[in-house]
């Protein structure tokens, strides 16, 4: 659960962390930049784009292969509920 939450939050927060590091080192070098309205908007938009890309990539590369598998719905056997499962097509239980 925490892995899933972090997988979505890290791309969203990454632009803010990068910009905060930039501001930190800029201030150490004698600069006077700060958090402005435009910089927050750009960081937010960048974070949303990164989060969207991470969700698309996760959807494309994860999951079970569809070819050669069969979905078996939940059922009762001997008074016990057997959860749904995806099994290879040659081992389908009826």
Find the domain containing 75 and state its range. 65-94
> For the segment 58-69, what is each residue's pLDDT rounded down to a tens digit?
888 877 666 788
Question: Domain check: are 43 and 88 in the same one?
Answer: no
Question: Domain check: are 75 and 36 in the same one?
Answer: no
Question: Domain check: are 7 and 46 in the same one?
Answer: yes
15: buried, middle or exposed (CB in 10 Å: 19+, 13-18, 0-12)? buried
Question: Per the structure, how many domains does the chain have?
Answer: 2
Question: Domain check: are 56 and 23 in the same one?
Answer: yes
The answer to whether the CB of 18 falls within 8 A of the CB of 47 is no
Model confidence band, residue 18 (pLDDT cutoffs 50, 70, 90): very high
The answer to whether the CB of 47 falls within 8 A of the CB of 15 is yes
Q: Which residues contact 55 (CB under 8 A, 6 or more apart)?
A: 8
Q: Which residues contact 92 (CB under 8 A, 6 or more apart)?
A: 70, 72
Please determine, for residue 21, whether its predicted confidence score (pLDDT) is greater than 70: yes
Question: Domain check: are 73 and 56 in the same one?
Answer: no
Question: Domain check: are 48 and 19 in the same one?
Answer: yes
Question: Domain check: are 43 and 74 in the same one?
Answer: no
């Amino acid at each position: 659960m925490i892995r899933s939450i972090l997988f979505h939050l890290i791309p969203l927060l990454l632009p803010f962390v990068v910009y905060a590091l930039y501001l930190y080192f800029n201030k150490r070098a004698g600069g006077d930049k700060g958090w402005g309205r435009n910089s927050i908007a750009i960081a937010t938009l960048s974070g949303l784009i990164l989060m969207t890309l991470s969700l698309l990539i996760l959807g494309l590369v994860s999951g079970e292969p569809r070819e050669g598998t069969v979905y078996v719905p939940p059922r009762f056997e001997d008074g016990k509920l057997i959860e749904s499962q995806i099994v290879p097509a040659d081992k389908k239980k009826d």
